[in-house]
Structure 1
């Protein structure tokens, strides 16, 4: 199945620790090129994200953005009253033992280890949630690339049918082409009648025969069209093969144009090149 390299996915998840939001977007690129923007606390997830991408995607520039908003109650620090009471008792004992000792102020008391409970969210749990969210986003992205790929394949098949129609038209014109070749040959023979050099006459015959013979180009065009159709049904990435086939199709269309001896054949060759270019533009987005 043909997959596009263009897709977008956004996934959100509310957890006990806060809200996670993950975005994946991909565009066409010659190779797989992932980029990550992750919160510092979740930065060590990047190798796992990268490996998951490589397992599912072969080409494309992929941007991954992960955001984490801690829950409000988790972010607010709280006073451990038990520890504060124990600290006050200890301070009272110090004052009794050493009269005149200066006592700390409230801010100093809050800075004492254990008095202010500023524990944040359980980041290990958040990481597991983020991994699950990434997997959901990746599944959605791959599905989107597949849907877009089906549309691209349909557009390419329309152009392939049009190419076949042009090839059939040139074959239909072959009698006219041969008649034109005969007329050109007679004109050239008339021009060299005074000389009647057998070697020159033979050279002219060979040249005109080669110029008008487009059967080989038509056969190769039909063969390449069939191969493009076959590649569209193959599993895995096929974009590079399709791009190569577009080059071969264009080569045959150019040769057909150079051998044209009637205006209708030239028009067919031009139309072929337009169709091939349209397919090539679509194929640039295929994985």
Structure 2
């Protein structure tokens, strides 16, 4: 399976004789799979079909599905709502003695809400079933188009993510090279500081100096952080290679990356190592931004 993005768009048109339709599907980032449907009246039965079909292909993202139809041959007929008209007539009779007003005009009565209705012409059951089947097939094609677009975008994101992982690995290797020189640098620095402080006094014994250096080295030791960074990079590469809906797992790894980078910066005793830690955090943030788009 390939990595898929959560963003995409699809449009599918169709027609049967004088009945035409258009499906439009839009997908953006989301924590879970949230499907919102907008269909014309009398097509509400399609909503559970839309949700089921979308759920089979998509695992995460906010998906908006809209259907517009145009039935050129089907024209409705006007009908008077007798019940509504009777209520209006009763109100007119009650109000007439109290008001000095001209009687209502016919066009005014027909303009009142609920008096004049449009009744759609009856549709043969076999025609309705044919249209429903065609709409479902068209929907399936639109969903497949959306899925393919998300996969294409996912491949582009995979390349970017792998590039960020390469950068994190490069910075980790640079930090490891500096870490090797840490004990000697700490010893030299401590010796210089003690020489200044104890210039007129008895110098610190070599054994005591070694103990102090050992304590400083233990506090500044970043080997565990570097090992965990390497493990996280390897885990992220495995997830990318395996494909599928791995966005949540990658997002969790980003949190672990940040934790190690923060610890590395707090332990850094050299400016060069601090700079690497800052660059590492920037690379991890760029990685996180791309992972937010992964399904």
Q: Does the pair score TM above 0.5?
A: yes
Partner secondary structure for residue 253 of structure 2 = helix
1: CA distance between counterparts of 2:64 and 2:205?
72
Q: Which residue of 2 aligns with 1:90?
A: none
Partner secondary structure for residue 157 of structure 2 = helix
Q: Which residue of 2 aligns with 1:238?
A: 246
Cα drift, residue 55 of structure 1? 1.4
Which of 123, 127, 132 does residue 127 from structure 1 map onto?
132
1: CA distance between counterparts of 2:264 and 2:139?
51
Confirm or deny that 1:172 pairs with 2:177: yes
Which of 254, 271, 274 does residue 262 from structure 2 map onto?
254
2: CA distance between counterparts of 1:158 and 1:66?
40
Cα drift, residue 261 of structure 1? 1.3
TM-score, normalized by length of structure 2? 0.77
Cα drift, residue 117 of structure 1? 10
Q: Pairwise mapping of residues 193-272 of structure 1 onto structure 2 (< 5 A)?
A: 204-272=212-280
Tell me the matched-pair count: 248
Q: Pairwise mapping of residues 98-137 of structure 1 onto structure 2 (< 5 A)?
A: 118-120=121-123, 122-137=127-142
Q: Which residue of 2 aligns with 1:16?
A: 17
Partner secondary structure for residue 42 of structure 2 = helix
Q: Which runs of 5+ in 1 are unaligned?
A: 78-115
2: CA distance between counterparts of 1:59 and 1:200?
60
TM-score, normalized by length of structure 1? 0.79
Q: Which runs of 5+ in 2 are unaligned?
A: 78-118
Partner secondary structure for residue 34 of structure 1 = strand
Paired residues of 1:211 and 1:260 also in contact (CA < 8 A): no
Paired residues of 1:181 and 1:212 also in contact (CA < 8 A): no
Cα drift, residue 130 of structure 1? 0.9
Q: Which residue of 1 aligns with 2:75?
A: 75
Cα drift, residue 4 of structure 1? 0.4
Q: Which residue of 2 aligns with 1:103?
A: none
Q: Which residue of 2 aligns with 1:30?
A: 31
Which runs of 4 or more aligned residues in structure 1 lie more than 3 Å from their structure 2 counterparts after TM superposition?
A: 116-121, 187-207
Q: Which residue of 2 aligns with 1:96?
A: none
Q: RMSD over aligned Cα, in angstroms? A: 2.5
